[in-house]
Chain A
Amino acid sequence: MSLPQQLINNRKITTHESKVVTLVLITVALSYLVLFLGIPLFAVFYEALGKGWSLYWAALQDPDAWSAIELTLIAAAIAVPANLVFGVAAAWAIAKFEFRGKSVLITLIDLPFAVSPVVSGLIYVLLFGAQGWFGPWLQEHDLKLIFAVPGIVLVTIFVTFPFIARELIPLMQAQGKDEEEAAVSLGASGWQTFWRVTVPNIKWGLLYGVILCNARAMGEFGAVSVVSGHIRGMTNTIPLHVEILYNEYNFVAAFSVASLLALLALVTLLAKSIVEFKAKSNGDRLPHGETE
């Protein structure tokens, strides 16, 4: 079936409600969208650009803003690859092998989703802070995790831990291990099997997970806020910097920096749609039944 044909079939009218009902329902749904998603998004850019482009640029060129952007990029640049490697390894193990403690592992992977980000941050303070379990040891060796960049990276990894693994596990489970077994019986090594058979089959799901993981890594507020210490120009990420600016009534600057995150969100959504479209046209399957 060709694509246009599919679109027509999908639009087949299956209900026979009156025009009024249809209109009311659509209006309610659209108003909801505009009210809760459209207006806030518009407000960010409106406030940021309200006093003109020059103030907007000035806010972004502030050294503290730059350092916040830099730190955010560093945190994401470490957290995303780390979780990429872990996520693929965990999903591969869970989906393709049977072992003891598998269900415990699956539950553990979900932990960061279940725990409030603020609590996650606190856990790290309790572990690595000055009064924490490993605090004295760290001080002895002159290592600083909490209220420093390494702490921010650690909590970012923790909070974004499940994204890629969660995306891949159902996908790889659905694909089964027949193809891998076939590859091995044809003489492929584990490494060859992984790169030539497994990776091509999961690449779109993987990309999808990376995009979501990255968005969260850059946007995380709660956990990072706890371990950061809010030192300007040192341990502020973009979201923390926005908060500080806002609390200082520097609204233009706050919204200007916030607009960066909003832009990131828009780019993420666009990338996500492209990946979904590509995956669909390749006949691959993403979890949550997006293509079926």
Chain B
Amino acid sequence: MSITIQNLNKQFGNFTALNNINLEVNSGELFALLGPSGCGKTSLLRIIGGLDVQNSGKILFHGKDVEQRDARERNVGFVFQHYALFRHMTVFENVAFGLRVKPKKERHNETEIKRRVHELLQLVQLDWLADRYPAQLSGGQRQRIALARALAVEPQILLLDEPFGALDTKVRKELRRWLRRLHDELHVTSVFVTHDQEEALEVADRIVVMNKGNIEQVGSPDDVYASPASPFVYQFIGNVNLFHSRTHALWTQQQSDAVAYVRPHDIDISLIPQQSSLPVAVKQVRAIGSVVRLEAAIGQDSEIVEIELSRERFNITPVAVGDQVFIRPRQIKLFEA
């Protein structure tokens, strides 16, 4: 089921949460809404799910306007950042909830409900927790139960609001891989909100980057990372060094009032000056896992450049704090200042 968003606006008082959003989520896609907090991504998700109402604009599911359908009738599975499990119900009853509240004529009998709940619990690999209460589970387990609960009503769209936001790094990484595998199995159109660029890049088929209620860029993880459409996307996704044309005309090709964006790993270092290279003084050397991160100062002033080298590359040209080296960008992206 595809989702089409047309000219969507949302205001909270004087604050514009969503500014004329147009977006298309393809059927069966795992789609990420990425942006810093307050960029409107959660508002957008809640409006798609019918938990909030837009001021203007349209949401279409599979080409049909859903304005007349409230959250109950949209057949959307919603997964909340803080799980929102029913604390007074067992895991089994939590998952069964959506099946039990169906109108009488659609409701399954008890055996069928039991069978389905256990099937879902097996899908999230937590069948053995059926009789526990949410308070007795770990965060990762709770979120998997929340997902099973959302899937119980066979939603055509799955919406996840920062699903891993409240978990620690290790569990987060496990869960997002698991979510990706699960999505490949089920192929239900899924939209998830995250402020973690790594999460979006790793899990999503496509990403929309949002900022202050506006869409900055839509594209595959590769597109967004390799060719950011705006300075904001450049800075939000990955680290970046800025070189202003006034001080570094050499790199901005004399274009007036431009800023060159260079990723730390797109900078080469050498011990001797080369064409259009900049002399810098190494201020800090840090080995972090498989990479070595350098901080260097340009000339006399305090402008700091971040450089990232692979360990092999670093071993070819080992430098130490205080050394003078020459840097040269391999790749530059220019934006007007």
Contact = CB atoms under 8 A, between A and B. Distances in A.
Interface string B122-154: 000000000000010000000000100110110
Interface stretch (A66-74, A129-137, A189-197): A189-197
Contact of B135 (A189, A200, A283): A283
Interface stretch (B35-43, B74-82, B257-265, B309-317): B74-82
Given A178-B80, A283-B135, A186 B88 contact: no
Interface string B46-82: 0001110000000000000000001110111110101
A182 B87 contact: no
A255 B84 CA distance: 53
Contacts of A189: 72, 101
9 contacts: A179-B86, A182-B85, A182-B86, A182-B149, A183-B86, A186-B150, A187-B102, A188-B97, A196-B97
B98 interface: yes
A268 interface: no
Contacts of A185: 49-51, 71-72, 74, 76-78, 150
Contacts of B146: 182
A110 interface: no
A178 B82 contact: yes
A183 B78 contact: no
Contacts of A200: 86, 88
Interface of B: 49-51, 70-72, 74-78, 80, 82, 84-88, 97-98, 101-102, 135, 146, 149-150, 152-153
B88 A192 contact: no
Contact of A184 (B71, B77, B149): B71
Given A196-B97, A201-B88, 11 more contacts: A178-B80, A179-B85, A182-B80, A182-B149, A183-B101, A185-B49, A186-B150, A187-B153, A188-B98, A196-B101, A200-B88
Contacts of A188: 72, 97-98, 101
Which label, helix, strand, loop or mixed, suits the secondary structure of the A interface?
helix
B29 to A, nearest CB: 20
Contact of A187 (B51, B98, B135): B98
Nearest to B146: A182
**Considering the complex of A and B, which 3 residue pairs feature the smallest CB-CB distances, nearest first?**
A178-B84, A186-B98, A185-B78
A132 B73 CA distance: 52
A186 B149 contact: yes
Residue from B98, B102, B146 whose CB has the most chain A CB atoms within 10 Å: B98
A183 to B, nearest CB: 7
A182 B155 CA distance: 13
B299 to A, nearest CB: 54
A181 interface: yes
A186 B50 CA distance: 12
A179 B101 contact: no
A183 B82 CA distance: 14
A76 to B, nearest CB: 29
Nearest to B94: A182
A213 B260 CA distance: 69
A200 B98 CA distance: 17
Nearest to B83: A178
B328 to A, nearest CB: 52
Contacts of A197: 86
Given A189-B101, A192-B101, A196-B101, A184 B72 contact: yes
A7 to B, nearest CB: 21
Contact of A186 (B82, B97, B135): B97
A291 to B, nearest CB: 13
B71 A181 contact: yes
A169 to B, nearest CB: 19
B84 to A, nearest CB: 4
Interface string A257-292: 000000000000000000000000001000000000
Nearest to B12: A98
Contacts of B82: 178
B97 A183 contact: yes
A187 B50 CA distance: 12
Contacts of B49: 185
A183 B77 CA distance: 10
B80 A181 contact: yes
Interface in A191-212: 192, 196-197, 200-201
Interface string A213-254: 000000000000000000000000000000000000000000
Contacts of A179: 84-87
A166 B71 CA distance: 30
Residue from A183, A184, A186, A201 whose CB has the most chain B CB atoms within 10 Å: A186
A13 B125 CA distance: 46
Contacts of A184: 51, 70-72
Given A178-B80, A181-B80, A196-B101, A186 B152 contact: yes
